[in-house]
Structure 1
Amino acid sequence: MQDSQTQAFAGKVLVLSGGVGGAKLVHGLANTLGADQLTVVANTADDFDHWGLRICPDIDSITYALAGINDEKRGWGLKDESWRTMVAMRRLSGEDWFQLGDQDIATHLYRSMRLSNGDSLTDITADIAQRLGVTTRLLPMSDDVVATRVYSDRGEYEFQHYFVRERCEPKVERIEFIGIDTARLSPLVKDSIADPELSAIILSPSNPFLSIDPILSLEDCRKLLKNRGVPIIAVSPIISGRAVKGPAAKLMEELNMPTSAHGVAEYYGDLLDGFVFDELDAAELDVIRNTGIDCRLEQTLMTDMASKEHLARVVLDFARDLKR
């Protein structure tokens, strides 16, 4: 539902997003913009195969959030989930480090069957979203396979093995996106960037290195965004030196970067026109502004729908002001 503040926002919005954290802002934006105004580009470098199924964690987190069926208490997966398949798998001594609920497995089965039939991830994602009642346009960053690989003091890991099985405990030395050099940015994403009605580009409060960087690293994506001529705004996932969700702060420290909102802004660099970060980090305001990035201080922690919608309105108002 739109209110008087967001009715004044003209044009379309493109959001680059990872999973849980980004999905919260996406949900807020979806509730404050018309369905035809919002397009979300999801990271797919976290995707992997498990139990013979193709699993797309970020796409699914965004889809479930927009459908209103995500488990907000647990922070991932579906609400009202059951786990009988996991119980049976343990009985067979199968791999059980990655939790898959019974309903969630149906999503992965459906996707895997469609992929084996030659359908594109873009078409499958749109179909799943439509069947779950989602009206927001959700696009995978690419139909080509890209895989995040983590190199650490304990060896080399596929991302989900590092993130879930190893609980982010190894010290990260570098990150690589396997297949990024040959993967093509989705043509529909290119069309969305070029859309003459596009008025703002938002980098959601997802992990800059693991969720947003894979999207920006696809062929000319960063250049296309920078040259588009509309405000580009990032929302910091760091509050008071800590990540709201996931290993962003740990990674920044291990990669010798400032564990701060300023560190995030510095990482995105001249791509940004605006940066939204939490009031608790107000001491960093001047140092970020001195880099030439306009800033907004705001309460950025999203704990319920009201706070998601509030932050969405803040970002949209900021984009409107930057455009003037």
Structure 2
Amino acid sequence: MTIRVLALCGGIGGAKLALGLSHILPPDDLAILVNTGDDFEHLGLTISPDVDTVTYTLAGLNNTELGWGLAGESWAFMDQLRKLGGEGWFNLGDRDLALHIERTQRLHAGESLSAITADVAARLGVAPRLLPMSDDPVRTVLDTDEGTLEFQHYFVGRQAQPAVSAIAYRGADTARPNPAALAALADPALEAVIICPSNPWLSIAPLLAMPALRHALEQTAAPVIAISPIVGGKAIKGPTAKLMGELGLPVTAHTVARFYAGLASAYVLDEADSDLADDIKALGLAVDVQPTVMTDLASKTALAGQVLDFAERLRHTRA
């Protein structure tokens, strides 16, 4: 099975573009490599938030109001857990809980996260290939003014309120990237690598922190296109802008472009930031200016189509 397009993806923002791509590309042509740096163990269960968000989104089952979890969810388990004095800071819906239990049991039985994810996706009607970035544990941890916090304790437990001074990706230096992704990056038939507009430091950097994956991205013959998650100096969703400020980085699309320069060959910029195009080109990136804010299926599909057209133009330019 030849992968034509490989998308690198985090949770909510990345899942939007992944959904758009899935409505354009034949299923066998698209693979989505998903961040697992957010994964953690909770209540004895292995939770994979970004993998689940992408799975539910592509299955048409996601809760569009929350951005995560299942639509029409109920919370009887959490209500009872809190009454019993249990840890109630991380919400697990009643139906969502089934996936975490099933995943944990199968991991304990010796199955890989990749195999479990593929099987769950197929059972839920997801046609493109969903690839966890690694079957080895990688954990995003943050140095904050409240001490070192694992990602979910920072993001959910403390609602991203602590000020961040540094980020590490534990286990990434020895983690083995998903072999299907490495094979795709080495395949001359690969037509594009798309870095979705996920948080660069929290959702994409854990993937890039694996040396073998970064090397494969640097060596691939396909154009690598990053989409800016910053529009008009603001993040569309999540703590990206707050985090950038705390790390001493200007909250601009140009800063994100600098983050990807040397790895990506091209960059998609929102119309609101068109004045930055020349400065970004000076970084060695080809630039395309498009509406990048995705509010509904039409805008998600439109952006996906524009990015794929950009990739085709880049391939023809190289040829």
Cα offset, 1:252, TM superposition: 1.0
TM-score by length of 2: 0.97
The alpha-carbon distance between structure 1 residues 305 and 40, as it changes in their structure 2 partners (threshold 3 A), is same
Q: Distance in 2 between matches of 1:39 and 1:114?
A: 23
Partner of 1:313: 305
Q: How far did 1:219 drift?
A: 2.3
Residue 60 of structure 1 pairs with residue 52 of structure 2: yes
SS at 1:198 equivalent = coil
Deviation at 1:268, TM superposition (A): 0.9
- Report what 1:303 is aligned to: 295
**Residue in 2 that maps onto 1:168:** 160
Structure 1 residues 310-319 or 272-281, which shifts more?
Answer: 272-281
Aligned equivalent of 1:197: 189
1:127 aligns with 2:119: yes
Name 2:92's counterpart in structure 1: 100
Q: Using the alignment, how far apart are the partners of 2:3 and 2:315 within structure 1?
A: 12
SS of 1:220's partner is: helix
Give the Cα separation in 2 of the matches to 1:270 and 1:178: 23
Normalization by structure 1: what TM-score?
0.95
Per the alignment, residue 4 of structure 1 pairs with: none
Distance 1:220 1:113 in 2: 29
Q: Which 5+ residue runs of structure 2 have no aligned equivalent? A: none
Matched residue, 1:18: 10
Distance (whole Å) between structure 1 residues aligned to residue 233 and residue 158 of structure 2: 23
Provide the C-alpha distance between the structure 1 equivalents of 2:64 and 2:301, rounded to a whole number of angstroms.
Answer: 16
Q: CA deviation at 1:121?
A: 0.3
1:48 pairs with 2:40:
yes
Matching residue's letter, 2:239: P
Find the counterpart in structure 2 of residue 177 from structure 1.
169
- Aligned counterparts of 1:195 and 1:95: Cα–Cα separation in 2: 46
Distance 1:247 1:253 in 2: 10
Once the two structures are superposed, what CA deviation does each residue of 1:268-300 show, in whole Å capped at 9, x if it has no partner?
111121111211112211211121211111111
Q: What SS does the corresponding residue of 2:21 show, helix, strand or coil?
A: helix
RMSD, matched Cα: 1.1
Q: What is the CA distance between 1:84 and its match in structure 2? A: 0.5
Quote the Cα distance in structure 2 between the aligned partners of 1:225 and 1:178.
21
Q: Deviations over 1:198-221 (max 9, x none)?
A: 110010000101111111111221
Task: Identify which of 244, 252, 259 aligns with 1:260.
Answer: 252
Residues 75-94 of structure 1 correspond to what in structure 2 (within 5 A)?
75-94=67-86
Deviations 1:293-317 (A, max 9, x none): 1111111111110000000001000
**Contact 2:3 2:30 survives alignment (8 Å):** no
Supply the AA of the counterpart residue of 1:26.
Answer: A
In the alignment, what sits opposite 2:26?
Answer: 34
Identity of aligned residues (%): 50
In structure 2, what is the equivalent of residue 151 of structure 1?
143
Q: Deviations over 1:41-67 (max 9, x none)?
A: 001010001111100000000000000
Aligned equivalent of 1:71: 63
Moved more, 22-31 or 236-245: 236-245
In the alignment, does 2:214 pair up with 1:222?
yes
Give the letter aligned to residue 228 of structure 1: T
Distance 1:175 1:216 in 2: 13
CA distance in structure 2 between the aligned counterparts of 1:288 and 1:195, rounded to whole angstroms? 29
Gaps in structure 1 of 5+ consecutive residues: 1-9
